[in-house]
Structure 1
Amino acid sequence: MAEQHTPTSELQRQLQLLGEQFAERLAQELPELANKAELLQAGDHQAQLQQLRGLRDQLHKLAGAAGTFGFASIGQRAHELEQQAIHWLESLRLKDQGLQEFIQQLQQFAAQGVQGEPAPNSPAHPKATLKPETDTHCIYILEDELSIGENMCLTLGNFGYHAEHFSRIADFDAALQRRLPDALIIDVNLGDSEQTGLAYAAALQQRLVQPLPLLVITTEDDFATHLEAVRVGAMGYFTKPVDIPQLENRLMRCFAQQQGEPYRVLIVDDDQHLASRYSLILRSANMLVEVLDRPAGIFAAMSRFNPEVVLLDVNMPDCTGPELAQIIRFNDDWLRVPIIYLSAETDITRQMNALIKAGDDFVSKPIADNALVTTVFSRAQRARLLSIALSRDSLTGLLKHADIKEQVGIELERAQRSGKPASVAMLDIDFFKQVNDSHGHVAGDNVIRALANLLRQRLRRVDSLGRYGGEEFLVVLPDCPADQALRVLDEIRQRFAELHFIAGDSEFTVTLSAGIASTEAGAKDAGELLERADRALYVAKHGGRNQVSQS
C-alpha cells in the first residue's frame, strides 16, 4: 500500500530535510572556522582585525541558526565564542596571551564537529486557523427583554445575519444542542434567572470544544463588570441602549479575524537555510511567505508582495537590519508594517539601539517554532486591524472616499490593458433626509449599514465597495459589462426595498437609486467614468427613484 502523506507528516519530512542540509553545512563550516583561527596568528594587525571580524560574523550566524535546527550545544558555544571575538575587536590587543587561548578554543570547537542528529522542533499549529466561509452567519441572542431582543434580531437580519432570540436560558441551551451558532450575544442581567448572563457564559464556554465569539450587552458600565466580561472571553462590551451598527461592526471584525485572507510575511535573511525553515513553519500556520536574501531587492518586494509583517536579520553583509528598517520607514506607505528583528544578539543595549532606529520587536535566535508563529501572528493581526481602521469607513466598514476613487483608476487602467470591460456604479438612498428627520439618526445609521452589508454579500470578492458620501456609495466591478452590472444592481435594489426597519414604535422601508457607467463606452480617465455614473444616477433620481439607470 502506498504511504499516505498528511500535511503534518509532510511538514515533518521537509523539516527533517532542512535539518540534514544544515548538518551538511556544519560539516563544511566548522573546518573553515579552524582555518580562519589559524590565520589569526599570522599577518599584520589590520589583516588580523579583518579576519577576526569575519570570524565574529560567522560565529554570530551559527549561534542563531544551530539551535533552531536542533544543535543547541553548538549554538550556545558559538555564541560564547562570538562574545570573545567582540571583546578582542573592542580591545584591539591582538597580541595578548588570551588571544592564543581564544584561537585554541576555536580550533577545539571546530574539531568537535557535529554531535548527534538534529532534532527539529515540532511544527506550530496556532489556534487561529482559517475557518471555512459560510454564506450567512448564525447569531444567538440571550436577552430577557422581548422588545430589545426582537429589534436586535430584525436589525441583524437586515445586516445579512441569521439571528435567533431567546429570553430564557433553558430555551437557549436547547437551541445550542440543535446547532452551534457562529457567535453569542448575551445580556448580563437576566431578570428572574438565578445566574447572571456572564456566569452562564463562563460555564458555557468551558464545556464547548472551542469557545465561540461572545459579545456582552448590559446596563452596567462599571470596571468590575468589564473585568468579568474579559475573564469569560468577551470580544465586545456594549451598554444599553445598544448601538447595533457598532455591535455589528464588532461582529464583522470577529469573523474577519477567523476567515480573513492569510497574513503576508516577508523574511529578509541572507542565511538561506534558516530563512527556508522560518518560511516553512509560517506557511504551515496558513501564512503567505516570501523570502528575500538581498536587501537591495526590498523596494520591489514591498511593492509587489505588500507584506503585513517584515522579519529582518540584524547582521547581513553590505546592509544591516536596522539600516534596512530605516530605508523601509522612509516610505510613508510602509509605516504601518511591523518590523521584527531576528538575531542571535543578546546584548540589551544593542537590541534597544536597533529598535530606536526603526523596528517594533526583537526576537533572539534560536526561536521555537510556536514562539515564531505566535509573535508573527499577533503582529500581523494588529497591523491588519489598524490598516482596516485607517482605510475603512467606521460605520460601514467599506473603503473611504479617497480609497474607492483610487480603485476606479486602477480598474480603468486594467480594463484598458486587458480589453475586458469594467463597470462603475453610484448608489444613493432615496429620501434619506426624511429617514433621519422622521426616525432619528440611529435609524439612519441602521439603513446605511444595512445597504453596506447587502452590497458586501451580493457582490464578488474582486469588486471594490466604498462609501462615497453620507448616503452615497460607489461600486467598482472589474470584468463586468454594463448589462451584467445592471442586472446585479437591480437585484440589490429589489432586495433592499424588501428590508423592514424599526425605530421606536414605527416600522418603515427605504429604496435606493443607482447609475452605472462602463468602460465599454470609453473613458480617458477615472474622472470621466465617475462623471458618467453620476449623470446616470441623476437620471434615475429624476425618473422617479427606486430604479437603476446606465449611461
Structure 2
Amino acid sequence: MADNPQLQAQLAAIEARFRQRLDDELDTLNDLCAQLHDDPSALRSLRDRLHKLAGSAGTFGYGELGRVARQLEQQAQTQLDAKQPDAAVLTDLSSAGAQLRPLLKRDEQRQAQPQQLDAGISDEDRHRHVGLLIEEDDLASQMTQTLDSFGYQVTRLASPEALHTAAQLDALIIDTSPPGSRLLSHPVFQQAPGQLPPLLIISSLDTFSSRLQAVRAGAVGFFTKPVDLPLLERRLERGFSSQQGGPFRVLIVDDDTELTARYQLVLSNAGIRVDTVSDANLLLDKMHKFIPEVVLMDLNMPEYSGPELAQVIRLDDDWLRVPIVYLSAETNAERQMSALLKAGDDFITKPISDSTLLTTVYARAQRARMVSDALARDSLTGLLKHADIKEQLELEAERAKRSHAPVSVAMIDIDHFKNVNDSYGHACGDNVIRALSNMLRQRLRKVDRLGRYGGEEFVAVLPGCNSDDAYQLLESIREAFNALQFSSGGQQFHCSFSAGISACEADAWADEELLERADRALYRAKQSGRNRLCRDDGVPD
C-alpha cells in the first residue's frame, strides 16, 4: 500500500474530518471542566470523553495530546473510584481543556509527512509448487505421484544447494531419516525465518527431540514413516487455506465514525473484507450475513460495553470459533484481564498504528481460519463436515449474488453402499468412501468446496459453474469412478454413484433452495436406475 496516492488521499480526508471533530471535542471538554465543582455527573462525562480522545488521538498522529488525555482520564477515574473526591484534583481537572488545546497545536507542528502503510497481503494466487528433498527413491516417487494427482507441481531436489536455483517453492518436504538425518544442520536451513518456504518434515524417529529439532527449523508439519500421504496432503492444503478461502472477513464494532473509517480503509487496502456496526441492535444480523472471521470490538461505547456485546455473540454456538479482539485506550491490566475473561481473545491498546492493526488482524484471522478448517474436516475423508459445507454454500451463494455469477451445487451418493458394507466389511466400505473423496478432490477445481454430508453422501459447491458446466464435470468424474477396481479378500468389484445438480444463474434462489433442489434431483437419479446424474429443472416436484 506504500506510495498509493488514492489511499493517501482517502486517509487525508478521514484525518481532516477527525481534525475538525477535535475542535468540537475540546470545546465540549472545556464546558464539562467548568461544571466539575457544581455538577457531580460532569466528572463521569469528562472521564468518558477523555477516554475516547486518548484512544483515537494517537492513531491520527496526535501522540502527545493522546498521552496527556490518558493521564487526565486516569485522574478522573481515580476521583470516581474515591469515596470523597479531592477538591484539589478536581481543580486540576477543571483546566483539562486548557491543557489539551496547546498540545493539539504542538502535535500539528510536529506531524511528519503522511504515514506510509506496510505492504498488504497480496491477493495473487499462489503457484502450488512443492519441492521434495528425499533420497529414498520409492518414497519420492510415491509422494510425487500422490501430490501430482492432487494438482501440485512437484520438483525433486538433489541437494539443499539446489534450493538456490530451484523455481520459487510454496512448500518444501524433507526426509530427515538416515542418510538425511543431518539435513537440518545444513547452512541452507539456518537462514532467518521467512527466507525458506514452509517446511514439512518426514522422520523415522518419533521422539520429542526429533520434533523439537523440526520446530526449531521452522517446520509446520511432522510425519513419521510409513507416511500417511493423505494426511500430509491435508496439511499442505491447510497451509494454502487462507488463499483458497478468499479474503479474510473482519467486522468492526465501534461508535467512533472516523476511527472506524480509518481501520476499514487500512484493512481493505490489505485485501481484507471489512464490514462495520455502530448500532448494537444490528450486530447479530450482521454476524449471520457477513460471517466474520475476526471481530474488532471497541471496549467502551455509550449504551453498552464491548464485553457485553462479546458475550451476546458467544451465546450462539456458531460464533464460538470467531476471535474477538478488544480495541481500547484502557491500560489498567486488571480491567483488561476482566474484559478478556468475558468472551474476549485479545486486547490492542489504542492508539493503534496501521502496521500493528494489520499484523494483529492478519495473524488472528489466519490462525482462526486454520483452526476452523481443522475442526471442520471429517476424520475419514479430510473433507468439510455437514455443517461446514452448508456454511461454505451460504458464502458462495452470497458471493455469486454480489458478482451476478452462476453457482452450482451437486449432491452425490454412492449407489448400493449398504451392500458394500454387508458384502465386504466396513473397512472396505471406508476405502470406497476415501476413494471417491480423493477422486472428487483431484478432479474438482481448487476454488470448489467439497464436503461429506453424511455417510456415503457428498456435497460439492461449484462457484462460477452453470448447470451445463457442472453436469460435464460430474459426468467425467462418474465415468472415472465407475472404472475404479476395488478388492477385498481376493474379490474384485466396482462401485458407482448418483448425483443431483442444481444451479443458480440469475439470483433466482437462496442457498437453502439450491441444496433442496439438488437433493430432489438426486432422488430422481436414484429412482431412474442409479449410476447417473439428474439436473434440477427449476420446477418443484
TM-score bucket (shorter structure): 0.7 to 0.9
The answer on whether the counterparts of 1:342 and 1:365 sit within 8 Å (CA) in structure 2 is yes
Q: Per the alignment, in what secondary structure is the counterpart of residue 74 of structure 2?
A: helix
Q: 1:133 to 1:428 in 2, by over 3 A?
A: farther
Aligned pairs for 1:307-386 (under 5 A) are 307-386=292-371
Q: 1:502 to 1:264 in 2, by over 3 A?
A: farther
Q: How many residues align?
A: 519
Q: 1:482 to 1:354 in 2, by over 3 A?
A: closer
1:268 is matched with: 253
Mapped to 1, the partners of 2:246 and 2:391 lie a distance apart of 22
1:123 is matched with: 117
Mapped to 1, the partners of 2:46 and 2:118 lie a distance apart of 33
Mapped to 2, the partners of 1:509 and 1:185 lie a distance apart of 36
Query: Which amino acid counterpart does residue 181 of structure 1 have in structure 2?
Result: L
The answer on whether the counterparts of 1:448 and 1:471 sit within 8 Å (CA) in structure 2 is no
Q: 1:132 aligns with which of 125, 128, 133?
A: 125
The answer on whether the counterparts of 1:130 and 1:260 sit within 8 Å (CA) in structure 2 is no
TM-superposed deviation, 1:130: 3.5
1:30 is matched with: 26
The answer on whether the counterparts of 2:203 and 2:223 sit within 8 Å (CA) in structure 1 is yes
Deviations for 1:89-133, whole angstroms, at most 9, x for unmatched residues? 22354572332233135433345543132446542336x544424
Q: 1:295 aligns with which of 276, 280, 292?
A: 280
Aligned pairs for 1:444-463 (under 5 A) are 447-457=435-445, 461=447
2:539 is matched with: none
2:152 is matched with: 161
The answer on whether the counterparts of 1:336 and 1:383 sit within 8 Å (CA) in structure 2 is yes
Q: 2:98 aligns with which of 94, 104, 107?
A: 107
TM-superposed deviation, 1:277: 1.6
The answer on whether the counterparts of 2:34 and 2:94 sit within 8 Å (CA) in structure 1 is yes
The answer on whether the counterparts of 1:139 and 1:182 sit within 8 Å (CA) in structure 2 is yes
Mapped to 1, the partners of 2:230 and 2:194 lie a distance apart of 30
Q: Per the alignment, in what secondary structure is the counterpart of residue 247 of structure 2?
A: coil
Q: 1:71 aligns with which of 50, 62, 80?
A: 62
- Find out whether 1:142 has 2:133 as its counterpart: yes
Aligned pairs for 1:532-551 (under 5 A) are 532-534=521-523, 536-537=525-526, 548=533
2:519 is matched with: 530
Deviations for 1:481-511, whole angstroms, at most 9, x for unmatched residues? 76554322122234556889999xx9x9976
Q: 1:64 to 1:73 in 2, by over 3 A?
A: same
Q: 1:97 aligns with which of 88, 96, 102?
A: 88
Consecutive unaligned residues of structure 2, counting only runs of 5 or more, are 537-541
The answer on whether the counterparts of 2:408 and 2:503 sit within 8 Å (CA) in structure 1 is yes
Mapped to 2, the partners of 1:441 and 1:188 lie a distance apart of 35
TM-superposed deviation, 1:436: 8.2
Q: Per the alignment, in what secondary structure is the counterpart of residue 116 of structure 1?
A: helix
2:167 is matched with: 179
Q: 1:296 to 1:53 in 2, by over 3 A?
A: same
Query: Which amino acid counterpart does residue 18 of structure 1 have in structure 2?
Result: I
Aligned pairs for 1:457-496 (under 5 A) are 457=445, 461=447, 464-475=449-460, 484-495=469-480
Q: 2:14 aligns with which of 8, 11, 18?
A: 18
Mapped to 2, the partners of 1:16 and 1:72 lie a distance apart of 17
Query: Which amino acid counterpart does residue 104 of structure 1 have in structure 2?
Result: S
Deviations for 1:418-468, whole angstroms, at most 9, x for unmatched residues? 9x996644243899769988997997676345213124328xx4x653223
Q: TM-score, normalised by structure 1?
A: 0.80
The answer on whether the counterparts of 2:250 and 2:295 sit within 8 Å (CA) in structure 1 is yes
TM-superposed deviation, 1:207: 9.1
TM-superposed deviation, 1:84: 1.3
Mapped to 2, the partners of 1:295 and 1:240 lie a distance apart of 53
Mapped to 1, the partners of 2:306 and 2:436 lie a distance apart of 46
Mapped to 1, the partners of 2:56 and 2:434 lie a distance apart of 55
Aligned pairs for 1:169-208 (under 5 A) are 169=159, 173-174=161-162, 177=165, 179-189=167-177, 191=179, 196-200=182-186, 203=188, 206=191
The answer on whether the counterparts of 2:521 and 2:534 sit within 8 Å (CA) in structure 1 is no
Mapped to 2, the partners of 1:98 and 1:413 lie a distance apart of 56
Query: Which amino acid counterpart does residue 21 of structure 2 have in structure 1?
Result: R
Consecutive unaligned residues of structure 1, counting only runs of 5 or more, are none
Q: 1:516 aligns with which of 476, 500, 504?
A: 500
Query: Which amino acid counterpart does residue 15 of structure 1 have in structure 2?
Result: L
The answer on whether the counterparts of 1:269 and 1:313 sit within 8 Å (CA) in structure 2 is yes
Query: Which amino acid counterpart does residue 272 of structure 1 have in structure 2?
Result: T
Q: 1:423 to 1:184 in 2, by over 3 A?
A: closer
Mapped to 1, the partners of 2:473 and 2:245 lie a distance apart of 25
TM-superposed deviation, 1:24: 2.5
Q: 1:540 to 1:234 in 2, by over 3 A?
A: farther
Q: Per the alignment, in what secondary structure is the counterpart of residue 76 of structure 1?
A: helix
The answer on whether the counterparts of 2:378 and 2:384 sit within 8 Å (CA) in structure 1 is yes
Query: Which amino acid counterpart does residue 361 of structure 1 have in structure 2?
Result: D
Q: TM-score, normalised by structure 2?
A: 0.82
TM-superposed deviation, 1:59: 0.6
The answer on whether the counterparts of 2:502 and 2:517 sit within 8 Å (CA) in structure 1 is no
- The sequence identity of aligned pairs, in percent, is 41
Mapped to 1, the partners of 2:437 and 2:484 lie a distance apart of 12
The answer on whether the counterparts of 1:131 and 1:259 sit within 8 Å (CA) in structure 2 is no
Q: Per the alignment, in what secondary structure is the counterpart of residue 115 of structure 1?
A: helix
The answer on whether the counterparts of 2:26 and 2:97 sit within 8 Å (CA) in structure 1 is no
Q: 2:412 aligns with which of 426, 439, 444?
A: 426
Q: 2:72 aligns with which of 67, 77, 81?
A: 81
Mapped to 2, the partners of 1:16 and 1:406 lie a distance apart of 39
Mapped to 2, the partners of 1:190 and 1:429 lie a distance apart of 46
Q: 1:271 to 1:114 in 2, by over 3 A?
A: farther
Mapped to 2, the partners of 1:61 and 1:185 lie a distance apart of 50
